[in-house]
């Protein structure tokens, strides 16, 4: 069922759903149409804390994340403030239905509601009387962590694997945060995932285990890498785990014949990240999680010439040139994804002490993607003009993308 609402009706709808006993989760994201807001995404859900019902507000910004918990009688003000920001997209899940609220640039509010095929009993507010809320907690026996050599049979994390343990959990948190936004829970079939450049497959195995065994979301994963040795080791681990929905192939990124719902590209070296992004776009994947690595391509060609001459004091230093090229490369990638209809942001998914390559490009394909947004194309063209470069992502995305840029030029 779909209809249009005015803003007062929208406020009443959101407030009533969140305060209701059947409320499970609300995600606020997209551009803001109201007051200035530092947050790019806010998730609200009920929890149980010290025996009392609370509402948890998880705020995520470009540079920081903040979580606040409010009692029933304390949450009116933060909820009103959140609604006042006017996020373009609000998705609410209750025990019986899903509500999707979209606000256009002109302020029109469009609401879609549909009943769940099999209404589920509303879970009691999730208990937070524990040390840490992580997807794969420490101190609990986990066959996956044992097989990967991260934990002992009784669940103790090995000191030398602490950074890897943290990295896995932070990655799974990112996956969990955007899974609902990508509308992947109700496909009516296995979620298809492609892991590009899977390497030693720590995160591949963890994602398979977390979705299938922890969240009970049926998922099939194909991991690809050009290194035959790591593929063999990954296959051995999959056999040890009895993971029949986990496959590995030795092949180059971009050559897998699979229509993926989710694409991972975690530490794919240099332009391999661009090839993975292009694979996601061609597949019309609903979700992309990419952690780039080894940005060499633009580092070879960026110079303090033309408009960029003003940056000569920065670019004369090798290390600063390298970091600038890294940032420019990822900016081009994020902008190209926006042009191709993805809601995209770049976040720090784990602290630098766990891995120096800690920036994640996170992209969710819109339900009705707007491909070729004129504003984003103009930004892309201006960025090319300033740096006097053509990024590899343009080549990777091929003729459909290049035609959009040429038409605007």
- Return d(Cα 81, Cα 71) in angstroms, integer: 16
Confidence class for position 358, pLDDT limits 50, 70, 90: confident
pLDDT at 341 over 90: yes
- Return d(Cα 15, Cα 99) in angstroms, integer: 12
Mark whether 95 and 147 lie in a shared domain. Answer: no
Mark whether 245 and 317 lie in a shared domain. Answer: yes
The pLDDT tens digits of the residues spanning 269-311 come to: 889 999 999 999 999 999 999 999 888 899 999 999 999 999 9
- C-alpha pair distances (Å), 217 with each of 27, 142, 179, 183, 345: 20, 18, 11, 12, 25
Mark whether 91 and 233 lie in a shared domain. Answer: no
- Return d(Cα 286, Cα 342) in angstroms, integer: 9
Tell me the residue range of the domain where 7 lies: 2-126
Quote the mean pLDDT of the chain. Answer: 87
The pLDDT tens digits of the residues spanning 253-276 come to: 988 888 999 999 998 888 999 999
Mark whether 25 and 54 lie in a shared domain. Answer: yes
The pLDDT tens digits of the residues spanning 101-117 come to: 888 877 788 888 888 76
- Return d(Cα 42, Cα 111) in angstroms, integer: 19
Mark whether 158 and 42 lie in a shared domain. Answer: no
Summarize the confidence of residues 331-345 as an average pLDDT.
Answer: 96
Confidence class for position 169, pLDDT limits 50, 70, 90: very high
Mark whether 221 and 246 lie in a shared domain. Answer: yes
Q: Is the C-alpha dihedral spanning 258, 261, 267, 268 positive or negative? A: positive
Give which of 320, 324, 227 is closest to 269, Cα–Cα: 227
The pLDDT tens digits of the residues spanning 84-143 come to: 888 888 999 988 888 888 888 777 888 888 887 655 444 444 444 444 578 998 888 888
Write the CATH number for 159.
Answer: 3.40.50.150
For helices 392-408 and 272-282, give the axis angle rounded to 10 degrees: 50
Based on the structure, what is the number of domains in the chain?
Answer: 2
Mark whether 116 and 154 lie in a shared domain. Answer: no
Mark whether 66 and 163 lie in a shared domain. Answer: no
CA angle 357, 272, 252 (to 5 degrees): 130
Of 79, 97, 126, the domain-final residue = 126
Mark whether 136 and 274 lie in a shared domain. Answer: yes
Mark whether 52 and 187 lie in a shared domain. Answer: no
Residue 31 CA, distance from chain mean position:
17
Burial class (CB within 10 angstroms; exposed 0-12, middle 13-18, buried 19+) of 380: buried
Mark whether 309 and 333 lie in a shared domain. Answer: yes
Mark whether 154 and 44 lie in a shared domain. Answer: no
How large a percentage of the chain has pLDDT more than 70?
A: 92
Of 108, 126, 144, the domain-final residue = 126
């Amino acid at each position: 069922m779909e209809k249009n609402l005015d803003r007062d009706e929208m406020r009443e709808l959101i407030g009533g759903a969140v305060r209701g006993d059947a409320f499970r989760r609300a995600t606020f994201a997209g551009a803001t149409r109201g007051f200035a807001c530092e947050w790019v995404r806010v998730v609200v859900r009920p929890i149980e804390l010290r025996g009392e019902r609370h509402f948890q507000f998880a705020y995520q910004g470009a540079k920081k994340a903040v979580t606040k918990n409010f009692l029933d009688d304390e949450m009116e003000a933060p909820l009103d403030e959140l609604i006042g920001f006017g996020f373009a997209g609000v998705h609410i899940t209750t025990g019986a239905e899903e509500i999707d609220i979209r606000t256009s640039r002109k302020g029109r509010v469009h609401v879609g509601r549909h009943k769940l095929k099999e209404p589920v009993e509303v879970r009691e507010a999730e208990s937070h009387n524990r040390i840490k809320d992580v997807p794969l907690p420490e101190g609990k026996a986990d066959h996956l962590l044992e097989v990967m050599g991260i934990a002992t049979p009784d669940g103790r994390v090995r000191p030398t694997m602490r950074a890897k343990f943290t990295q896995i959990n932070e990655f799974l948190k990112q996956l969990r945060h955007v899974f609902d936004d990508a509308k992947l829970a109700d496909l009516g079939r296995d979620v298809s995932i492609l892991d590009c450049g899977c390497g030693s497959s720590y995160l591949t195995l963890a994602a398979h285990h977390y979705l299938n065994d922890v969240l009970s979301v049926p998922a099939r994963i194909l991991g690809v890498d050009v290194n035959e040795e790591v593929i063999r080791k990954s296959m051995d681990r999959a056999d040890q785990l009895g993971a029949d929905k986990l496959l590995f192939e030795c092949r180059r990124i971009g050559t897998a014949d699979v229509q993926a719902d989710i694409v991972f590209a975690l530490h794919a070296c240099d332009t391999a990240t661009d090839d993975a992004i292009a694979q996601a776009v061609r597949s019309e994947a609903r979700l992309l999680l990419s952690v780039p690595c080894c940005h060499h391509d633009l580092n070879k060609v960026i110079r303090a010439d033309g408009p960029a001459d003003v940056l000569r004091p920065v670019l004369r230093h090798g290390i600063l040139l390298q970091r600038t090229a890294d940032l420019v490369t990822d900016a081009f990638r994020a902008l190209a994804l926006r042009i191709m209809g993805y809601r995209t942001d770049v976040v720090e998914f784990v602290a630098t002490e766990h891995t120096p390559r800690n920036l994640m490009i996170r992209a969710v394909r819109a339900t009705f993607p707007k491909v070729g947004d004129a504003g984003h194309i103009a930004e892309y063209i201006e960025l090319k003009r300033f740096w006097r470069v053509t990024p590899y992502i343009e080549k990777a995305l091929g003729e459909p993308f290049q035609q959009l840029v040429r038409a605007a030029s």
